[in-house]
Structure formats: structure tokens, C-alpha cells
Amino acid sequence: MSSPPLKKTALNARHRASGAKMAPYGGWDMPLEYSGIAAEHMAVRTGAGVFDVSHMGEIEIAGKDALAALQQISCNDASKLQSGQAQYSGLLTPNGTFVDDLVVYRLKADHFLLVVNAANLFKDYAWIAEHIASAGDAVAVDSSSRYALLAVQGPAAAGAVQPLTGVDLASLAPFSFAHGEVANVRATISRTGYTGEDGFEIFVPPQSADRVWQAVLASGEADGLVPCGLGARDTLRLEAAMRLYGNDIDEETTALEAGLGWIVGWQKPDFVGAAALRAQKTAGLTRRLVGFELVDPGIARRGHEVLAGGARVGVVTSGTQTPYLKKSIGMAYVPADKASPGTGIQIDIRGRTANAIVVPLPFYKRTTEPEGHR
């Protein structure tokens, strides 16, 4: 069976011309690394990096009943959002497991932008359309082709972006966004990201993406800003214990098991998955997603089994050797009685049993809040 051709972002030619190592991801031809995963990872922790994340999907929901529709399908409580604010959330099945995870942006009172995982876009769109059909005046539109998305991340991100825009970044709180221009290109600047650092995600029209990319690189160069690929994005997000759909969360794992109870709008009267999550909360969890550090040498990878007392009790969902912490870390689902930090577990690494210890999440947390935010 032949696969469909890979999709290309507006920056594809730029990545190839710049010598990035490319790889397929979620149906897209994406840069895996520029200067190397470790170097890019360190740049984002200590300076800044710019990522092309235009593969992410965008779905808009609009209409006078848009909020009510969204409240049904998104597990977090969108009524807490003012226009110009965003929140992390999930689209859940009736079982409380993940159709996808996403960020919800409130553009206007009755207009929302949902940023979803590239590989899930069509599934999400169909699921949303089906579930809001009876919600009154609310329509969902797949507007992914209208946006290129650049993520500028790291302690030097604000310094790199500020000279390019009239938007006062110091007044932009985390998980808020503003409309304006970047490098004379119409843009929406959001103080969000997937690295555990301060930073911005910048939505621009695809035809202008290269101009913004070049401008950000030039502006940040002196402060150590480098172009980055999805390899470093993965190690950065894992160090920050941000879940990756398809690895750490999926249609088999609930929001509670994944440790994401904080994105559940428990006060809402109802939403898809609510009954299952309330029942699970009452009954108690049988398994949890935990972080672990390997004590023995090696790297635990996705799919490796977790052992305890010789029995197979769980599975690794993500694992890597982190360039910044210089530890071999991972996340795994384990029985609830093995989930407390300090618990010893073993990982079956291709037939070799390696000792590991459960540790609190996240592995890495930045020590300073973004400068100037109030």
C-alpha cells in the first residue's frame, strides 16, 4: 500500500535549503534537526530557538452558540477565557479518554480557535462537527491552510521578537495572545509553547512565513537563537513532562490516568467524557502516568515494558536521554500502588532489566517567570 505524498509547510524549501535533516511526521515532511538535537535543546534552555510548527491543525468554531458548543466537546472550562486568552484542554471520548489534546484560543466572545495535533486533524474535525451539530448556531471550519505557525522559545525569545513587533510583549501574560504585526506581517502572537520555556507561538499567513522566519533568526542571532527541528521539540517537551498525543495519551488513556485532572472543568454541568471521569474519580485510579529516572545505564524507549517484582505491570510511553538535565528519563503507565515518587521499578530494555525510580513531574521546571509579565 502506498502512502499519500507528504505535505509541506510554507517553510519546506527554506528548511531544505538550510540543510535541515528532514523526516516524515504526522503526514508532513518536517525538519527533524538543524544543528543537532542536543545543541538545539540547549539553545532553547539557555538562549532561544525557532521551530516551524505549521503542521499543527487549526479548527475554528464560530456562531452565537459557539461557547456552548465548545463547552460540550472540550473538557476544560472555556467560560473562564476572556477574548485574548488561551487554555490547554482535551477532546475526550465518552470514556474520558483522549480523541486529542489541544489549545483553545478565545478570539472573540463567540469565536474560538482550536490548535490540534497534525495527525489528528481530520479525525478531530469530523468528531467536532458531529458533536456540535445539535448545539444551535455554531459552525466548525478547518482553517489549517490559512496559518503558518512559528514557535520562538527560550529565555531570549522575548528579546528576539520584541524588536520585530509593536505588540508590547511584556504585557502579554502566559496563555494570552494579541493581534499585530511581526516583521511587517499580520500576525497573532501567543505566549504559549511546548518546551517548558517562556516563548511565543506566532500565527502568520503561509505566504509570509519565510519573511518572519528569516526576521526572527536575524533578530535573535546575537542572543544565541538557532533554528530547531522536531527532535529537540520532543526532548524539550518531555523534560517539561508535557504529554505527547500518540505516546503518553490516546484513546485508551483517560485524562485522570494521564495526570491531567487540572484541565478538566469539573464545575461544568456536562461535557463528553464527564460521567466517565466523575465515576473514575470516585472509584479511584488503577493506573497512573508517572515520570521515572533510570538508575542503570541505557535509555528506556516507548513500548518498553515496566517490571515490578518480576511481573509486567506497565509500559513506557516516552523516554530519552535529556541533553539539559543529562539524565535518562521517561514516562510510563504503572499501577497506582507503584506511582509514588521514590518507588523502585524496572524497565525491560530489549531484554536487559534496568532499574529506575519514580520521580515527581515535571523533570524540568524553569526557575524564573517571564520577565515583565503582570
Partner 1 sequence: MEYPSGYKYTKEHEWIDVTGDRGRVGITDYAQQQLGDVVYIELPEVGTALKEGQSFGTIESVKAVSELYSPVSGEVVEVNAALKSKPEVVNTDPHGSWLIAVRLSEPKEIAGLLDAAQYGSLVK
Residues near partner 1, by CB under 8 A: 21, 32-33, 36-39, 231, 235, 297-299, 301, 320-321, 323, 328, 350
Q: Looking at beta carbons only, is 165 or 320 nearer to partner 1?
A: 320
Q: Cell match 472509584: residue?
A: 283
What is the nearest approach in angstroms of partner 1 to the Cβ of residue 22? 13
Cell of 218: 536575524
Measured from the CB atom, the residue of 95 and 321 that comes closer to partner 1 is 321
CB of residue 301 vs partner 1: minimum separation in angstroms? 7
Handedness of CA 97, 176, 34, 233 (dihedral sign): negative
Taking the complex as a whole, the smallest distance from the CB of residue 96 to partner 1 amounts, in Å, to 32
The smaller minimum CB distance to partner 1, of residues 39 and 129, is found at 39
- Pick 32 or 226: Cβ nearer partner 1: 32
Minimum gap (Å) between residue 32 Cβ and partner 1: 8
Contacts for 309 with CB less than 8 Å, ≥ 6 apart: none
b vs e for 315-334, b when ≥16 Cβ sit within 10 Å of the residue's Cβ? Answer: bbbbbbbbbbeeebbbbbbb
* Closer residue to partner 1 (CB): 175 or 324: 324
- Closest approach of partner 1 to the CB of residue 303, in Å: 12
Residue 290, Ramachandran bin (φ over 0: left; ψ between -120 and 50: alpha; else beta): beta
Instruction: Count other Cβ atoms within 10 Å, centred on residue 271.
Output: 24
- Direct distance between the N- and C-terminal alpha carbons of the chain, in angstroms, rounded to an integer: 54
Q: Which helix (H) or strand (E) holds 125?
A: helix 121-132
Shortest distance, CB of residue 74 to partner 1, whole angstroms?
Answer: 32
* Dihedral-angle region of residue 298 (phi above 0 means left; psi in -120 to 50 means alpha; beta otherwise): left
Q: What is the DSSP letter of 177?
A: E
Residue whose CB is less far from partner 1, 298 or 362: 298
